[in-house]
Amino acid sequence: QLHEIDPAAWARAAETGSLPERVFVWENTPQQRLRMVRASAKVYSHIANGSLFEDKWRLALLQRATANPGAFLDSICLRGREEVEAWISAVSPEAAPEAAEAPRTTPPSSSSPVFTTGPADTPPRAPSEDGERHEPFPPVAATAAVVADPGATGLEDLWVLKDAEANGAGGIWVVSPSNRREVAARLHPAHRYVLQRYAPSPLLWHGKKFHVRVYVVVTADLRVYIQRRAFLHVANKPFRMDGASVSDDEVHITNCCANSANREAFAGEIVIDLPSDYPDAFESMKQALQMLVDAAAPFLEAQTSHRYFEYMGCDFMVDTSGCAWLLECNCPPSQDSATGLPHAEGLHDAVIGDLLDLLVLPEVAGTDPTPGEWELVRPAQPGFGISQRTTSNTLRWGLFEKKALRARGY
């Protein structure tokens, strides 16, 4: 039985001892008024301090604490317009050479960016009406490489600026040497911002930039599962790197909800199978997720139940070497499709169905857990135990964040 929760009715049931014994509670965003409901849940859709994955600011700091920070995009945390302007001054040509941050050397290394696209005579497939899986463009080895003019690209000088307080396609700018100060002038004086280096050598889908929406579950005992079925979210316009394109969101922004407003250009919601369609990227994603949760473990140590979990939509950019770069996490991801087409709705339903079969129904209905298309990436944390002192998670994070911010530099 599924129903919305009435906190007052729940409180009355608690007073009379008539609460149901096996309840699964799902909240998109935890609310204080439902605290009593959460406390009595057998299974719950969040873990203590799990929001650190969704918070862009905290995610950036967490990535720097992983075993291999070079496996993640360079990210810089800045408070307010003033700190963004200070960074601009540090990296601008007129600044002292020692003040500017040297570009990180990350795979693939090349003297000029390589963009991989497909033959011009291979049109994108139209959205399926019958649930048939969309085929993405063939793997890198089967595509034709197009080497861009190094003087016209300058990917090493591009950053993506994100407002840590914003969601969706809002509060995001592509920042280049030519527009840095113009972007800074628009910023809020007190908001937190994250500068993330532009993903190198992006793999293209029929000439357009894309990211992969990957579904991930982190359980309270820090097991990590990845769903093999995913979406490609594609930009509306062909990828190019001339001066005018920097300010064109439809070239760079791959957010599905934003791009679906332009129905003529929108590529649709493209369903893929990661292990078969992008095997190298799939392995890269699993490695990144394992490192991320390893780094987060001290801040997720205290959990009130082993049956709780964090369901996430993780966005990855894939480059021409097959390396996957984590962009951000959404906890939980939207379950609404941008098109309402059967194949997109079917994927959402299938992923949630597998989630229920793996983590929920075994606890509330006594069934055997079945993973479906979920694959275990990380086993449970050794020595995991139940603790009610969940505030210790945030206290440890607070100390870590202060130390990390003192050590930052640009």
Average pLDDT (313-341) is 91
pLDDT value of position 169: 65
pLDDT value of position 20: 75
Average pLDDT (139-166) is 57
How far apart are alpha carbons 143 and 203 in whole angstroms?
Answer: 10
In degrees rounded to 5, what are phi and psi of residue 229?
-90, 140
- 314 within domain boundaries: yes
Question: Does residue 333 surpass a pLDDT of 50?
Answer: yes
* Tokens matching residue 8: 């007052």
User: What number of residues does the chain have?
Assistant: 410
Q: How far from the centroid of its chain's Cα atoms is residue 222's Cα?
A: 18
- 245 within domain boundaries: yes
Higher pLDDT, 12 or 175: 175
Question: Does residue 71 surpass a pLDDT of 60?
Answer: yes
* DSSP secondary structure of 357-374: IIIIHHHHT-PPP--TTE
- 111 within domain boundaries: no
CATH of the domain at 281: 3.30.470.20
- 325 within domain boundaries: yes
Average pLDDT (248-253) is 91
pLDDT band at residue 18 using 50, 70 and 90 as cut-offs: confident
Question: Does residue 65 surpass a pLDDT of 70?
Answer: yes
Average pLDDT (54-79) is 96
- 311 within domain boundaries: yes
- 137 within domain boundaries: no
Average pLDDT (168-191) is 90
Preceding omega of 238 cis (within 30 degrees of 0):
no
In degrees rounded to 5, what are phi and psi of residue 310?
-120, 120
287: domain range? 45-89+151-407
Sign of CA dihedral 170, 318, 269, 376: negative
How far apart are alpha carbons 293 and 49 in whole angstroms?
Answer: 12
How far apart are alpha carbons 75 and 63 in whole angstroms?
Answer: 8
* DSSP secondary structure of 304-347: S-TT-EEEEEEEEEEBTTS-EEEEEEESSPP---SS--HHHHHH
187-236 confidence digits (pLDDT tens):
999 999 999 999 989 999 999 999 999 999 999 999 999 999 999 999 99
**Beta-sheet pairing, 24-25 with 43-44:** parallel
- 3 within domain boundaries: no
Q: Where are the alpha helices (DSSP H) in 40-196?
A: 56-64, 80-91, 150-153, 180-184
pLDDT value of position 273: 97
pTM of the model: 0.84
pLDDT value of position 155: 66
Question: Does residue 85 surpass a pLDDT of 60?
Answer: yes
pLDDT value of position 218: 98
Question: Does residue 109 surpass a pLDDT of 70?
Answer: no
Q: What is the DSSP letter of 142?
A: G
Q: What is the DSSP letter of 138?
A: P
- 134 within domain boundaries: no
| Mean of the per-residue pLDDT values of the chain | 83
Neighbours of 215 (CB within 10 A): 25
Domain count, the chain: 1
Average pLDDT (264-283) is 94
